[in-house]
Amino acid sequence: MSNNSRTPLDVADVFRLSGDNYKAAHRGHLSLAQLKVMSAIERCRSAQLGAHHLHCEHCDTDAIAYNSCRNRHCPKCQGASAKRWFAAREKQLLPVAYYHVVFTLPAEVAQLAFYNKALMYQLLFKAASQTLLIIAGDTRHLGAEIGTTMVLHTWGSAMMHHPHVHCIVPGGGLDKAKQWKACKKGFFLPVRVLSRLFRRLYMQGVAELYASKQLLCFGDLTQAIGFEHAAHFTAWCKQQQSMEWVVYAKPPFAGPRAVLKYLSRYTHRVAIANRRLQSIDATHVTFTYKDYRRKGNNMHRAMQLTCGEFMRRFLLHVLPTGFHRIRHYGLLASKAKLNVARQA
């Protein structure tokens, strides 16, 4: 199949063609959550999930619409969810500039997070939100209580494990007198200050999880970070705090509505969108990705993977059951505070 065929390409096609072989080859190594995602995507909008009858009274036409799986990892099901989320959030926008800040875990820390998804993704939210609230609340910077909406992504363009959170932040907050205090035009908070507090808070959290024996580690990483020896692991934690961590702040958006439209695409994105698929056959999948080492129009490249490797990468990003990937903090977590901010 290719994108020149009449039927648009779909991640579900890969699972239908090669899913059974992949399950057999990895029996005992796939989690229940991953198996459920595979099953849901395979059956989405097919007769297996049933259908409903549609009738148009104007043209007297009947149609059968197959039901969606509504799984949050399914590429086909996220468009409608994003529209509903957009409509619900539009009323909460403040008439101010909004900023986009991204907090990213470095490679070895991200590798440890892969083995401890629920704990370390939760810590990523906690450390990033605390960093924003603490620095913004400092009178040397903004001196106000801010709010933020955060969305967890665990992938890069080539679907490798790359956990980071996107934060959308109004450009200001409430001071102690409950008056609105705007940040400087075109400047939110100093990135280097954010980065250093973020890495300290995150690695302190990792050390606490290790001390309470909640973390797991496997493979070559165990030796690389000295996981089996407390003194070695402590030294590794200190080493991570001496490195530069990536915190990226983009210029303000062109108005609040542009923010929400942008964010609604991020909130319901999955590891790969169907539109990026170029061809699928019984053995290989070809898709487009961005090579960030290149600039301009040369960033877009094509990558071919075996079906097994494609599915492996896709399933890396199945979240723990019940884990919330969209969260609100500060002013945006409280309807009462948000109303005070809007009045201010």
Per-residue pLDDT tens digits for 36-46:
999 999 988 76
Reported as a single tens digit per residue, the pLDDT across 87-114 is 777 777 888 888 889 999 999 999 999 9
Predicted pLDDT of residue 238: 96
Predicted pLDDT of residue 8: 84
Low-confidence ranges of the chain (pLDDT < 50): 5-6
Q: What does 55-73 look like in DSSP terms, one character per residue? A: EETTTTEEEEEEPP---TT
Q: How far apart are CA 301 and CA 52, in angstroms?
A: 40
Predicted pLDDT of residue 314: 97
Q: Is 294 exposed, middle or buried (0-12, 13-18, 19+ CB in 10 A)?
A: exposed
Query: Which 3 state secondary structure label does DSSP give 168?
Result: strand
Query: What's the alpha-carbon Rg for the chain, to the nearest Å?
Result: 22
Predicted pLDDT of residue 6: 46
Overall residue count recorded for the chain in this entry:
344
Reported as a single tens digit per residue, the pLDDT across 127-175 is 999 999 999 999 999 999 999 999 999 999 999 999 999 998 999 999 9
Q: What does 51-120 look like in DSSP terms, one character per residue? A: EEEEEETTTTEEEEEEPP---TT-GGGHHHHHHHHHHHHHTT--SS-EEEEEEE--HHHHHHHHHTHHHH
Query: Which 3 state secondary structure label does DSSP give 162?
Result: strand
Q: How far apart are CA 60 and CA 28, in angstroms?
A: 52
- Burial of 35-64, coded b for 16+ CB within 10 Å and e otherwise, reads eebbbbbbbbbeeeeeeeeeeeeeeeeeee
Q: Please, are residues 171 and 324 in contact by the beta-carbon 8 Å criterion?
A: no
Helices 256-267 and 78-90, packing angle to 10 deg: 150
Q: Which of 33, 104, 106 is nearest to 71 (CA)?
A: 33
Q: Please, are residues 183 and 192 in contact by the beta-carbon 8 Å criterion?
A: no
Query: Which 3 state secondary structure label does DSSP give 250?
Result: strand
